[in-house]
Amino acid sequence: MRQLPGRPALDERVLVVGAGPVGSVLALELARHGVGSTVVDRSTAAPAFPKMDYLNGRTMELLRRLGLADEVRRGGVDTRLRSDFIWTDTLTRPPIATWHYPAPDTLAGELGEVDDGSAPLEVYQRIPGSLLENLLRRRLREHPLVDLREGWTFTDLDERPSGVVASLVARDGGARHTLHARYLAGCDGANSVVRQCRGIPMPAAGPVTSRCSVYFTSADPLLRRHGRAFVTVGAKGITLVSRDEEDTWTASFQVPTDEPFVGDPVEVMHDMLGAEFTVDEVMGVGQWQGSLAVASRYRVGPVFLAGDAAHQFYPFGGHGANTGIADAVDLGWKLAGAVHGWGGDRLLDSYEAERRPVALFNREMSADLLEVWGRFVRLAADGASRGHIGGFLDRESHQLDNLGVHFGYRYTSSPVVVHEPGPAPRWDWHRIEPTTWPGGRAPSVRLSSGTALFDRFGTGFTLVDLTGTGAGEVAVKEALGQGIPMERLAVDEAAVRAVWERDLVLVRPDQHVAWRGDTVPDDWSAVLDVVCGR
């Protein structure tokens, strides 16, 4: 085998396997911190068949840091449209129940009036996964610190003391190459070859099912007879997703395990939705496994897993891509710290310590919503009345009111957070609890100028200084002297003081709090050692 053309024998870049949303965000996060990467993907373009279509508000905050939020909104579904869930036994009658979810513009307007730290800076956005991936790949192609190799397949790896030697096959003639990288990140999906190469188990919580998805277009008004809906859930076990709020749809239903689907997908949709409607074009039919699984490890030496390679959820609930993009941001700034030399090995270990518990929690949230869906199907099959089923579904409609799930996770077991004694502030499923308790996301507030505080944070660490005396200057100077990227942000704003709880708060590159206090401690160097994992 020979090396990649134009690359030296030892390449200090990070190798990212997979150019989906997770791998692309990881590469862009690395570039944000001045670290180059090589990204390889077996496909030469984004897939036409969309795998995701919902970015929650926390994900949009993370993309905003990368300068992507506005472009995502321009390419996404009209932000004036609601994202309701309709539960139905047949499209020919009114729904059994409807879960109403406000449009992004409506939410932004309501939350924009709140400035006590309990509101997000960004709200959710729907965008077909294929469009998001096209946007991200375009950014990768344009970035001077990213070497995107489309049509290159990762096949194997060999760990060395200096890093990883990856085996790759190029699309042109099938030539085999090797690349020596300091670190390798497997962002290569549910059937991750990287995960298989490292022998990392992926235990599933509950049964694994086989499902078929039909990607089609239809302008038939029957599909909107009872109003617009993001997701239509059929009582026979089918889900119908509006991809673009125009004519593009995906239907998904369970099929026998380990057997290829050979039926007519249109006939199946007609039967399971209880009505015949015109399908203009079937653009694709795919079969996939549904599971609730989290990898037993996220790191083995210089090899890391992120996204679907590390965790798999049913798409019902939107946890998959959002958890994965947050993985990419967390891993990206930590790999940058290791490459630049200011981060220690504990910083890399903290990736698993922080992100795996979030995945385990989100697995249960996905299971919770999946159980509602399953009970709906069983109740309908058992002959329960529409009124009883509707009452049950109305009780469960809180599933969509989950700001705390998306924004409120805290890294309580992280080795790179200076934890405090005593009970943590309460966590609320429905709202964001504004607090600078270490490990959690810092509260978002707007300054008197109208600027978002989050937009004032630096690329590296930011020491928010509310002392009014410049007390944080010496702390930042010491950090910079040790090569740690840190900026001091002096703030004298009532809105910030009201919710930030301490005069000095150290915010990490991912907007989570690493440390807080009212004065710079005598052992500040020890604090730096903790947050840098040294």
CA distance 187 to 192: 8
State how far the Cα of 426 lies from the Cα of 447, in Å rounded to an integer.
26
Structure tokens at 364: 């249960």
pLDDT, residue 147, reads 96
What is the rounded CA–CA span in Å between residue 187 and residue 328?
9
Residue 316 has what pLDDT?
76
Q: Give the CA count within 13 Å in the CB-facing half-sphere of 341.
A: 5
Do the beta carbons of residue 29 and residue 205 sit within 8 Å?
no
Contacts of 45 (CB under 8 A, 6+ apart): 134, 137, 150
Please spell the DSSP secondary structure of 231-251, one letter per residue. Answer: EEEETTSEEEEESSSSSEEEE
Own/partner long-range contacts of 92-99 (Cβ < 8 Å, ≥24 apart): 92/225, 92/274, 92/275, 94/226, 95/226, 96/235, 96/386, 96/389, 96/390, 96/393, 97/389, 97/390, 97/393, 97/394, 97/397, 98/227, 98/229, 99/393, 99/397, 99/399, 99/400
CA gap 421, 288 in Å, rounded: 46
Residue 206 CB neighbours (<10 A): 13
Spatial distance between the Cα atoms of 28 and 22, rounded to a whole number of angstroms: 10
* Rg of the Cα atoms in the chain: 24
Q: Are 335 and 182 within 8 A, CB to CB? A: no
Task: List, as one string, the DSSP characters of 175-197.
Answer: -EEEEEEEEEEE---TT-HHHHH
| CA geometry: angle 230, 288, 148, nearest 5 deg | 85
Low-confidence ranges of the chain (pLDDT < 50): 1-3, 5-10
Q: pLDDT tens across 486-504, in order?
A: 999 999 999 999 999 999 9
- Classify residue 496 by its DSSP letter: H
For residue 327, give the nearest of 309, 306, 301, 303 by alpha carbon: 306
Cα–Cα distance measured from residue 166 to residue 247, given in angstroms and rounded to the nearest whole number:
43
Contact 35, 51 (CB under 8 A): no
Model pLDDT for residues 88-101, shown as the tens digit of each residue: 999 999 999 999 99
Other CB atoms within a 10 A radius of the CB of residue 208 amount to 12
Taking each helix axis from N to C terminus, what angle separates 57-65 and 320-340, rounded to the nearest 10 degrees? 30
- At residue 528, the pLDDT reads 98
pLDDT reported for residue 8: 39
pLDDT of the residue at 318? 78
Q: Which helix (H) or strand (E) holds 12?
A: strand 11-17
Q: What pLDDT sits at residue 50?
A: 66
How far is 164 from 180, CA to CA, in rounded Å?
6
- CA dist 342 and 139 (Å) reads 28
